[in-house]
Amino acid sequence: MSKLNAIITGGSRGIGYGIAMALAREGRNVLITGRRPAAEVEAARAALAAQGVQAEYFAADVADSEDRKALLAFAKEKFGALHVLVNNAGIAPKVRADILEAGEESFDDLIATNLKGPYFLTQAVANWMVEQRGQSSDFRGTIVNVSSISATVASVNRGDYCLSKAGVAMATRLWAVRLAEYGVGVFEVRPGIIATDMTSGVKGKYDALIESGLLVEKRWGTPEDIGRVVAMLVRGDLSYAPGAVLTLDGGLGLERL
C-alpha cells in the first residue's frame, strides 16, 4: 500500500516538527511549511526524510491566499494525493497588551494567521479530499487543528490570541459536521504549556508555577506529546468521535480543591 501524504503547517520546529516526526516515523510522507527560507529548514527536512519517507518543505505564509494556492499546487505536484492536513502554524502577539489598551494591528495579524489562514486552507484541502473521495470510496482523510487551551482559558493580556484559538475551536466543529459524509475526520488538539521556542521567553514564570502545583502532571509538555496524539488520530484509532477535542494540558484544567 502506498504511503499516506500529510501537510503540516508550521512543521519545521516546535509542536509542528514534533507532529511531522511522529507521522514520518509511522511511514507518512510529509510536507512541512513555514515562512523561513528552505536553507534554514534543510536540517529538519533531512531528519524527516531519514525516517524513510518523502519529506518536502514549502515556504508559505498561511495568512496569504496566493501562498495557500501555491502550497496546494506544490503538494499536488509532489504527492498527487493528500490524506492529512494538520493546521499547526500560528503566531503569538508581538506585544502582550491589556485588552483595555490593545490595538488593532496585533488583532488583525493574529486573526489572519491563526484563524483565517487555516480556515481557508482547510476549505481548499477539503475540496481536494471530497474530489478524491469521489474517485475512490475507500478514501479516508484526516484534518487536525492544533489550537490551545487559550480557546477557553482567558488571558486578558493577549485577548487577540485567545479569540483566534476560540475561532479555531468552532472551525473544527463546523468542518467536522460538513465533511463527515465524505469520510474526512476533523479533530482539535488543544495543547497547554509546551516547551518550544515560542514559550522560551516565559520559561522562568512557568517553571515556578509548575513547581507550585499549577499542573497535576508536574512537567512541561513536549512536541512529542502532541505528535503522538496526532499520529493516533491519523491512524484512525479514535472512532465515532467527529469533532473531538483532545486536551493535553498536564491537568491544568482539572477542577481541584
Phi-psi region of 213 (alpha: psi -120 to 50; beta: other; left: phi over 0): left
Q: Which residues pair with 185 in a beta bridge?
A: 142
State the Cα–Cα distance between residues 70 and 63, nearest whole angstrom: 13
Length of the chain: 257
CA 96 from centre of chain: 22
Write out the H or E segment, with its range, that includes residue 141. strand 141-146
- Of 17, 57, 119, 161, catalytic: 161
Show Cβ contacts of residue 248 under 8 Å, excluding neighbours closer than 6 positions.
Answer: 189, 190, 191, 192, 221, 225, 226, 229
| DSSP letters for 193-251 | SB-SGGGGGGHHHHHHHHHTTS-SS-S-B-HHHHHHHHHHHHHT-S-S-TT-EEEESTT
Q: Could you give phi then psi for residue 27, rounded to 5 degrees? A: 90, 15
- DSSP-derived secondary structure letter, 126: H
CA dihedral 99, 223, 175, 6 (to 10 degrees): 140
161 catalytically annotated: yes
State the Cα–Cα distance between residues 82 and 205, nearest whole angstrom: 41
State the Cα–Cα distance between residues 104 and 82, nearest whole angstrom: 36
Residues identified as active-site: 161
